Amino acid sequence: MHLTMPRAPQPARGLHQMPARWAIDHAAARQTLGDLHDAYQWAVYAHTLAHRTNHSAERLDAAAMLAPLAALTGHVDQAVTTYRDLVDLATAELGHSHERTLYARAGMAEAHHRVGRCEKAIRDLADVYTTAARRHGPEAPVSLKTLTHLACLYRDCGWCDVAQRCLTVAMTIAARYLPQGDPHGARITDIAATPASENHRAVCTQATPSRPALTGLSSSTRTA
């Protein structure tokens, strides 16, 4: 599972569109076709072009394209750096609790988790969930996806009981608010049946858990 910041609505473009925007679109097209490494190269190019401009929207979209692709193609340090840049840009442009900013913060937490900064990753993602549930409601897609992903981080660190608590809350909210057959409900069920990632074990730093506070769960349970 990978959290990706949704793209802003894209206006129709003509021959005069900016080179960075064209490269962003090309990276997105390559990603849609499943060619992640080619998409990553185009995203690097788009990011370089966007940083030469003063267009904050292009810089934001270029970072939003590059950060998850860097993570997915194994450029873990670049993913952390780009996510940090993305969070700063999104916060300045959209505000601290905007949905796209929350997805950016969730992505950065995931990037930290991939390199074994487990306690920080879980604490940051729990904070994202708390903000999302308060600002957008526990049933909002950003809240449910963040909570479900938090369960994955706990599970991969070996904290199966806390992971199960997160999933139980997510299932309760999904059953109450999502329409029958909603794909996210099925996704939560799939994750509940998925074992911990073997890849994470090699980098995990939570072999002896020091459980961080789960501030988001009590409020979501109450609100749901």
Binding site for Zn ion (CB under 5 A): 118, 157, 204, 206
How far CA 156 is from CA of 32, 198, 211, in Å, comes to: 27, 8, 14
* SS3 of residue 31 by DSSP: helix
Output the smallest distance, CB 38 to Zn ion, in A.
Answer: 31
Closer Cβ to Zn ion, 41 or 164, answer by number = 164
- Please answer whether residues 118 and 208 qualify as being in contact, where contact means their C-beta atoms are separated by less than 8 angstroms: no
| Cα–Cα distance, 67 to 2 (Å, whole number) | 12
Closer Cβ to Zn ion, 47 or 200, answer by number = 200
Output the smallest distance, CB 118 to Zn ion, in A.
Answer: 3
Output the smallest distance, CB 159 to Zn ion, in A.
Answer: 9
Output the smallest distance, CB 133 to Zn ion, in A.
Answer: 24
Closer Cβ to Zn ion, 111 or 118, answer by number = 118
Closer Cβ to Zn ion, 20 or 153, answer by number = 153
- Please answer whether residues 215 and 130 qualify as being in contact, where contact means their C-beta atoms are separated by less than 8 angstroms: yes
- Please answer whether residues 82 and 66 qualify as being in contact, where contact means their C-beta atoms are separated by less than 8 angstroms: yes
Q: How open is the CA angle 146-134-185, to the nearest 5 degrees? A: 40
Please choose, from the candidates 42, 20, 39, 40, the residue with its C-alpha nearest in 3D space to the C-alpha of residue 30.
39
Closer Cβ to Zn ion, 62 or 157, answer by number = 157
| Cα–Cα distance, 94 to 223 (Å, whole number) | 26
Output the smallest distance, CB 200 to Zn ion, in A.
Answer: 6
How far CA 201 is from CA of 3, 5, 113, 119, 209, in Å, comes to: 20, 26, 11, 14, 13
Closer Cβ to Zn ion, 39 or 147, answer by number = 147
Q: How open is the CA angle 112-35-5, to the nearest 5 degrees? A: 45
| Cα–Cα distance, 186 to 171 (Å, whole number) | 10
Output the smallest distance, CB 39 to Zn ion, in A.
Answer: 28
